[in-house]
Amino acid sequence: MRSRTEVQLLQRLSRGSASVWELLDAQDSSLRGFYAALEELKERGLIEIAGGKVSLTHAGMERASQLKAKFFDFKCSACDAKGYVIPPDFEEVARAFYKIAERRPLPVEDYDQGYIAPEDVLRRVAFMYERGDLAASEILVIGDDDLLSIAAALTGLPSRVIAIDIDERLVSFINSVAEEHNLNLEARSYDVQEPLSEDLARSFDVFVSDPVETIEGIKLFLSRGAASLRGEGSAAYFGLTTLEASRKKWYEIQRMLHEMGFVVTDIRRRFSVYPCEDTNFFRYQDKLPIVKKLRVPCDYHWFRSALYRIEAIREPEPLITGKIKLGDKFYHDEECWATPE
């Protein structure tokens, strides 16, 4: 009996040893699933782990041969397999955004903050442009660790961009950048557990978010986003990993999307990477369950997310409308192994 995760791990290890974090990035199970698969392969004598490096044993090589698990790298190196590069007429925007992103406030664990690579922010903006969701659009960004609101506004294409975030430091930073660069951009303080203000409800063509990945938390983020949209034809973008969201969780999230009146038009796999840097959420990696279990510091850009695009086929119906207090259920469930404890 084979499992897809076993095949993925053996495929990568057939090329040679890898750190546990590089190996994690070579598969698409959840963190729990990866850890269980790693432990099983070790118990079966197929791999050995020393100093954070994983390699095949002789039995592991035989098993890889039996499964025809050879390593081939089919990914495009020019775009990191994401399909988008920065064109020359976009380079001025890119340069400005890179400089601004260097000044961003550092993530704090209280809000489970972390940001995707600046070049991936620009790829998201490029994808939004291609799908007709950037030019002449009114865009709401719900939680903006990534500073996508700034990148979108720098293009000069949206009619207006508003970012809402619970972190007063981010709100202040975004507003100062908007003033400095004369952008059609505004940031406001907002706790997603509160309903949207009346002037934000049913006022936008597009919303963008990178929500927490608990079922209750993402339901809340998507509900607030749904409440912000004008109606049929409105669109939204959000990130979702396989690391903290199993297939069953993806099923439940997609069910919620359909119930709210959305269809999934695109899922761009591994579209965004969270750099393994001391300025990102890895600065408090010792509080992440997966790091505690593997007992090895991160040395690879392993935390990646897919990008969803959804579109309303009727007036969106939020599943949550009023004020709500979720407590610990907001950030934590049994799959959240990359969320600080």
* Contact of 262 with 334, CB cutoff 8 Å: no
Q: Which of 327, 316, 322 is nearest to 203 (CA)?
A: 316
pLDDT at 105: 96
pLDDT in the model for residue 78: 87
Q: Which residues of the chain have pLDDT under 70?
A: 1
How far is 261 from 259, CA to CA, in rounded Å?
Answer: 5
Burial class (CB in 10 A: 0-12, 13-18, 19+), 72: exposed
DSSP string, 89-100: GGHHHHHHHHHH
Question: Rounded to whole angstroms, how far apart are CA atoms 12 and 126?
Answer: 31
Residue matched to tokens 């809402």: 164
The domains of the chain, with CATH numbers, are 4-66 (1.10.10.10), 88-330 (3.40.50.150)
Tell me how far apart the alpha carbons of residues 101 and 148 are, in angstroms, rounded to a whole number: 10
The residues with which 47 forms a beta bridge, in sequence order, are 56
- pLDDT at site 89: 85
pLDDT for the residue numbered 77: 86
Q: In Å, what is the CA distance from 82 to each residue of 78, 120, 126, 133, 334?
A: 9, 9, 11, 19, 30
pLDDT of residue 86: 87
Residue 294 parent element (H or E): helix 289-294
Closest CA to 34 of 211, 214, 244: 244
